[in-house]
Amino acid sequence: MDTWKIGPYEFRSRLLLGTGKFADLETQGKAVEVSEAEILTFAIRRLNLENPHEPNFLEQLDLKKFTLLPNTAGAYTAEEAVRIARLAKASGLCDMIKVEVIGDPKTLLPDPIGTLEASKILVEEGFIVLTYTNDDPILARRLQEAGVHAVMPGASPIGSGQGIVHENNLRFIIEDAKVPIIVDAGIGAPADCAKAMELGADGVLLNTAVALADNPVLMAEAMKLGVEAGRKGFLAGRIAKKRYASASSPTEGMIE
φ and ψ at residue 230, rounded to 5 degrees: -65, -40
The answer on whether 154 is annotated among ligand-binding residues is: no
- Cα–Cα distance between 111 and 21 in angstroms, integer? 24
Q: How many CB atoms lie within 10 A of CB 40?
A: 21
Minimum CB–partner distance for residue 232 and another protein (Å): 26
Name the residue nearer to another protein (CB basis): 121 or 144.
121
Name the residue nearer to another protein (CB basis): 5 or 21.
21
Cα Rg of the chain, angstroms:
20
Q: Given 89, 98, 195, 224, which residue is catalytic?
A: 98
Give me the residues that bind another protein (CB under 8 A), please. Answer: 18-22, 28, 41-47, 49, 52-53, 56-59, 68, 70-71, 73, 86-88, 90-93, 158-159, 185, 205-208
Q: What contacts 152, CB < 8 A, 6 or more positions away?
A: 98, 130, 131, 132, 133, 181, 182, 183, 184, 185, 205
The answer on whether 67 is annotated among ligand-binding residues is: no
- Cα–Cα distance between 25 and 55 in angstroms, integer? 8
- Cα–Cα distance between 92 and 122 in angstroms, integer? 16
Minimum CB–partner distance for residue 185 and another protein (Å): 8
DSSP state of 110: B
Name the residue nearer to another protein (CB basis): 70 or 230.
70
Name the residue nearer to another protein (CB basis): 55 or 253.
55
Closest by alpha carbon to 234, among 181, 188, 186? 181
The answer on whether 134 is annotated among ligand-binding residues is: no
Minimum CB–partner distance for residue 154 and another protein (Å): 11
The answer on whether 74 is annotated among ligand-binding residues is: no
The answer on whether 186 is annotated among ligand-binding residues is: yes
98 is catalytic: yes
Binding residues for 1-deoxy-D-xylulose 5-phosphate: 159, 185-186, 207-208
Annotated binding site: 159, 185-186, 207-208
Residues annotated as catalytic are 98
